[in-house]
Homo-oligomer: A and B are copies of this chain.
Amino acid sequence: MMIDPSASLGSNVFVGRHAVIESGVTIGDNVTIGYGAIIRAGTTIENGVSVGDLTVLGKKPTGNKKKAVKPPSNLPPLVIGEGASIGCNCVIYLGVSLGADVLVGDLASIREFVSIGESTIVGRSAVVEPHTVIGRFVTIQTSCYITSNMLIEDDVFIGPCCSTSNDKYMGSGREAHQGPIIRRGAKIGNNATLLPGIRIGERAVVGAGAVITRDVPPDSTYVGNPGRPLTR
A interface with B by C-beta (< 8 Å): 2, 16-18, 20, 34-36, 38, 50, 52-54, 56, 59, 62-66, 83, 85, 87-89, 91, 101, 103, 106-107, 109, 119-121, 124-125, 127, 129, 137, 139, 142-143, 145, 147, 157, 159-161, 163-165, 167, 170-171, 187-191, 193, 195, 205, 207-211, 213, 223-226
**Are B209 and A101 closer than 8 Å at their CB atoms?**
no
**Are A38 and B54 closer than 8 Å at their CB atoms?**
yes
A187: chain B residues within 8 A (beta carbon): 170-171
A193: chain B residues within 8 A (beta carbon): 161, 190-191, 208-209
CA distance A140 to B164 in the complex (A): 15
Supposing A20-B17, A35-B20, A88-B56 touch, asked if A127 and B109 sit within 8 A by C-beta, the answer is no
A35: chain B residues within 8 A (beta carbon): 20, 38
Partner of A89, one of B54, B157, B163: B54
Supposing A125-B127, A160-B147, A160-B165 touch, asked if A66 and B20 sit within 8 A by C-beta, the answer is no
A145: chain B residues within 8 A (beta carbon): 142-143, 160-161, 190
Closest chain B residue to A136, Cβ basis: B66
Known: A56-B89, A66-B120. 4 other contacts (CB 8 A): A2-B18, A52-B59, A139-B171, A191-B211
A–B Cβ pairs within 8 angstroms, 16 of them: A17-B20, A18-B20, A36-B54, A52-B59, A64-B103, A66-B137, A66-B139, A129-B142, A159-B165, A159-B167, A161-B193, A165-B190, A170-B205, A207-B211, A208-B211, A211-B225
